[in-house]
Amino acid sequence: MDIIDAIRQRRSVRVYTKDMPKDSDIEKVLEAARWAPSGLNNQPWRFLVLKGGKKDNLAQFTKYGKIIQNAPVAIAVFMDTADSYNRDKDLMAMGAAIQNLLLEAHSIGLAACWLGEILNKKDEVCKSLGQEPDLELTAVVVLGYSDEDITQAGRKALKSLILK
Sign of CA dihedral 58, 21, 147, 94: positive
Instruction: Determine, following the binding rule CB under 8 A, whether residue 128 of this chain makes contact with a copy of itself.
Output: no
What's the rounded Cα separation, in Å, for the pair 117 and 150? Answer: 23
Instruction: Determine, following the binding rule CB under 8 A, whether residue 35 of this chain makes contact with a copy of itself.
Output: yes
Instruction: Determine, following the binding rule CB under 8 A, whether residue 24 of this chain makes contact with a copy of itself.
Output: no
Is 69 buried (19+), middle (13-18) or exposed (0-12) by CB count in 10 A?
Answer: middle
* CB distance 10 to 38 below 8 Å: no
Q: Mark the segment that binds a copy of itself (CB under 8 A) among 4-12, 14-22, 51-59, 142-150.
A: 4-12
Question: What radius of gyration, in Å, describes the C-alpha atoms of the chain?
Answer: 16
Instruction: Determine, following the binding rule CB under 8 A, whether residue 34 of this chain makes contact with a copy of itself.
Output: yes
Site residues (vs a copy of itself, CB under 8 A): 1-4, 6-8, 10, 12, 27-28, 30-32, 34-37, 39, 41, 43, 45-49, 76, 78, 86, 88-89, 91-100, 102-104, 106-107, 114, 116, 119, 131, 135, 138-139, 153-156, 158, 161-164
